[in-house]
Amino acid sequence: MNLQLRILYGAFVVAIIFIASYNFIAVTDETSHFSKIDRLFSAVDNYTSPGAAIAVIKDGKTIYSRGYGMANLEYDIPITSSSIFHVASVSKQFTAFAVTMLADQGKLSLNDDVRKYVSEVPDLGETITIRHLIHHTSGLRDQWELLAMAGWRLDDVITTEHILKMLENQQELNFKPGEEYLYSNMGYTLLAEIVERVSGQSFTDWTQEHIFEPLGMDDTHFHNDHRHIVPGRAYSYQPVSDNGFQKSVLNYANVGATSLFTTVNDLAKWVKNFDDISVGNERIISQMHRQGRLNNGEQISYAYALQVNDYRGTSAVGHSGADAGYRSFVGRFPEHDFAVIVLSNLSTMSPQRIGYQIADIIIGDNLKSVEPRIESEKRRRGEIDVSVIDAYVGKYKMERGVIISLTREDDRLFMQTPGITKVELIPKNEEVFFSNDIDLEITFESDKGAKADHLMVNRGGSTVMALRIDGNKPTTEELQQYTGKYYSEELGTFYTIRLRDDELIAMHRRHSDIELTPIINNRFSGNQWWFRTVKFIKDDNDAVEGFRLTGGRVRDIWFEKREY
């Protein structure tokens, strides 16, 4: 076959595969809805971009499914509704379901101490129950941040054995079990391990036998071996500056918190099981939707790896996931017998946002109109001492380098950020302030002392931290006291703190150098997601003993100062 014929033949094959990616239906009034859905993916619906697969389920039937973009850019393989994706944290609902099934069979209790089954969990002076793991209220530090702090890259081969060894050396919790909700992947790795030790089967085999095979999820498995060849899988990508893409490598060999490989067609069978039960029973399905409670009685939105929220006046139940370049979302709207599944292999895609847009298209006429988040009546000003405002005045740096400036004018507090008009922050109480001009709430926090060392910005339901930047930069002599070598028994690793051009740098042999920006009171901000804040600790003689390292889901890992 000559070159021109080969090119024509290749184009014909690709076209046929793309046609096969559609789940054709009879032309109805709903067809216009599907055209609107297609437009949501117009930027990736081509031969040169990673993309996504979707399934839309209404009244127990899949009414639309198809793929957009490419599953493999090296071999020009398009995404179809049968393409297999790694779905990251969407995996957790299957882990919660497995544990709940075993509890329903009387093989374990959700109130059991985790150490009854997994001896590698150290005795940290508190009882951690299976229920704590399910609701992310255990206080256990997150495995990914611990590994990153210890010098691991997330594209290393990471096994369950590696994670358990890391856990075994932990000496502290983030908080007392049940006191807070803080997402921890470690908890779901332990849940999968409990299933293995109770059942005597590998988690992969148990879920295959008791969940996937009975539901006919033939293209689904928990991926516990990074070397396992998976025909039809979509590979993971992230964009690069020249408008192209590069691989986003994932070598996980651990299960429970992640590593489910599946398709939108198989996940459609899973969501249908919540209404037309063939695996499990009504008790288990009801339990899956039971939201957690903290020790103080407060109910959280997180149930059994299902987020239970309100969306435009209706219940929305779902979970999202993100690992490497994979992004995923499975959302159900039980009151409307509707569900949507979006799986992507492009790191910049937001399946959850798109999932809600699809819900707006299909069932939006039955939902409440979107109302402004700002309350119609201006919220009232709380009475606080003016000295409290003085404690909050200053500059704060957010994760991506955005600087928030807080100033006092007369007895009022104002906020200014680049490109945004200055707005007044009105006190709700001494710690919480809000704006009547934009949907914004700020909570000030500090350990001790008059000045707040950081604040939490809540806008549109999303919360981010901003750290105070001390206006008085430490001198070279003051910075010099922090230099040295620091070791963590919990992580089994060293960091070296050095001065470079009058700036502190944290160095690890497996990571790029980390810039440390002064905040306040011996605190510094790092420029890595797992190295956010460093608080140096001094003894009674004002000599540095070590530092406490905090990320997003790991708090206060201790590093002791060692001699060079």
* Residue 397, beta-bridge partner list: 403, 467
For residue range 391-445, list pLDDT tens digits in order.
898 888 876 667 888 999 988 999 988 766 788 999 988 889 998 878 788 998 8
- Residue 450's pLDDT is what? 59
> Is residue 485 a contact partner of residue 476, using CB atoms and an 8 Å limit?
no
| More confident call, 452 vs 120 | 120
- Residue 29's pLDDT is what? 56
- Residue 470's pLDDT is what? 67
Q: Is 471 helix (H, G, I), strand (E, B) or coil?
A: coil
Indicate if the pLDDT at residue 564 is higher than 60: no
- Residue 87's pLDDT is what? 98
Q: Read off the pTM.
A: 0.85
**Are both 88-260+280-309 and 386-469 of the same fold?**
no
- Residue 451's pLDDT is what? 74
Binned at pLDDT 50, 70 and 90, residue 14 comes out as: very low
- Residue 261's pLDDT is what? 98
Indicate if the pLDDT at residue 251 is higher than 60: yes
Domain ranges of the chain: 88-260+280-309, 386-469, 476-562
For residue range 258-294, list pLDDT tens digits in order.
999 999 999 999 999 999 999 999 999 999 999 999 9
- Residue 6's pLDDT is what? 45
Average pLDDT, the chain: 90
Indicate if the pLDDT at residue 4 is higher than 60: no
- Residue 18's pLDDT is what? 43
For residue range 208-217, list pLDDT tens digits in order.
999 999 999 9
Give pairs for 106-110: CB < 8 Å, separation 24+.
107/198, 107/199, 108/194, 108/198, 110/134
CATH architecture observed for domain 476-562: Beta Barrel (2.40)
Provide the percentage of residues in the chain whose pLDDT is more than 90. Answer: 74
Return the CATH number of the domain spanning residue range 386-469: 2.40.128.50
Fold of 88-260+280-309: Beta-lactamase (3.40.710)
Indicate if the pLDDT at residue 12 is higher than 60: no
Indicate if the pLDDT at residue 236 is higher than 70: yes
Indicate if the pLDDT at residue 25 is higher than 50: no
Indicate if the pLDDT at residue 19 is higher than 90: no
Indicate if the pLDDT at residue 504 is higher than 50: yes
* Residue 119, beta-bridge partner list: none
Indicate if the pLDDT at residue 145 is higher than 80: yes
Average pLDDT over residues 554-559: 97
CB count within 10 Å of CB 280 equals: 19
For 215-279, the DSSP string reads: HT-TT-EE---TT---TTBPPPEEE-TTS-EEE----EE--SSS-EEE-HHHHHHHHHTTTS-SS
For residue range 121-138, list pLDDT tens digits in order.
999 999 999 999 999 999
Provide the percentage of residues in the chain whose pLDDT is more than 70. Answer: 90
For residue range 78-102, list pLDDT tens digits in order.
999 999 999 999 999 999 999 999 9
- Residue 379's pLDDT is what? 56
Indicate if the pLDDT at residue 177 is higher than 70: yes
- Residue 520's pLDDT is what? 79
Provide φ and ψ at 416, rounded to 5°: -135, 130
> Is residue 145 a contact partner of residue 552, using CB atoms and an 8 Å limit?
yes
Binned at pLDDT 50, 70 and 90, residue 384 comes out as: confident
Of 257, 238, 133, 183, which Cα lies nearest the Cα of 463?
Answer: 183
Average pLDDT over residues 301-329: 96
Q: How far apart are CA 32 and CA 317, in angstroms?
A: 26
